[in-house]
Structure 1
């Protein structure tokens, strides 16, 4: 009797694509530290020539995270103003929470086999 196990089955291409798309959306969790755009950018650059779900969802996530980044920069500018700096701080926390929640919802939707479009996003990457 042999103690060797058969090789693990290779996940299908569709499962691979969904996993990369999910990781692209989960990159939005890092918006609080200003790098929520990094994961979707890398995944989009790797998968854009191949096409598929990963490239499309990474582009959607990248557009949303760039929109979040613009909002965070605006909040940082407002935070530096005297008398209204607290408004910038509150908006900063709000944008980070919105990014967190929408990124998780998007990742769950993609992992289930669907696609996700954020409720608001600048179309910066096409």
Structure 2
């Protein structure tokens, strides 16, 4: 009898390849630490290149993209609020919150569970 090379996923649970790309979509938001606008470019590239391979990748790619857009808009608002000093505090809240939520989303995606970010403006449907 021939052994399958890839583990077979249970019905309703995404396969290992789909889970891996969903995880990468969420973690690619950290590219913003390395290159300007990387937090937007990373999830966009993963989503656009892999969305046709699996419904789970498409869903989580859109979710990661929407979250990064929301974080970028919140960061822009914080920069504007730095004129009245409160922005310096709020930018740290946004950064720490984004890091924690991206890690949680990546863990959930790796488990094969669809994750929905709280406080996220879902522009891409």
- Which bin holds the TM-score, normalised by the shorter protein? 0.7 to 0.9
Q: Mind listing any 5+ residue stretches in structure 1 that lack a counterpart? A: 1-8
Whose radius of gyration is greater, 1 or 2? 1
For 2:53 and 2:6, the matched residues in 1 are separated by 19
For 2:102 and 2:40, the matched residues in 1 are separated by 12
Deviation of residue 10 (structure 1)? Answer: 5.2
For 1:54 and 1:88, the matched residues in 2 are separated by 35
Deviation of residue 34 (structure 1)? Answer: 4.8
User: What is the aligned counterpart of 2:74 among 55, 71, 75?
Assistant: 71
Matches within 5 A, 1:83-102: 84-85=84-85, 87-102=86-101
TM (norm. structure 2) is: 0.80
CA 93–30 in structure 1, closer or farther in 2 if over 3 Å, else same = farther
Partner of 1:29: 30
Deviation of residue 29 (structure 1)? Answer: 3.2
Partner of 2:65: 62
Q: Is the 8 A contact 1:28 1:99 kept in 2?
A: no
For 1:100 and 1:36, the matched residues in 2 are separated by 11
TM (norm. structure 1) is: 0.79
Partner of 1:6: none
Root mean square deviation of aligned Cα:
2.0
The count of corresponding residues between Structure 1 and Structure 2 is: 114
Partner of 2:124: 125
Q: Mind listing any 5+ residue stretches in structure 2 that lack a counterpart? A: 9-13
User: What is the aligned counterpart of 1:49 among 49, 52, 63?
Assistant: 52
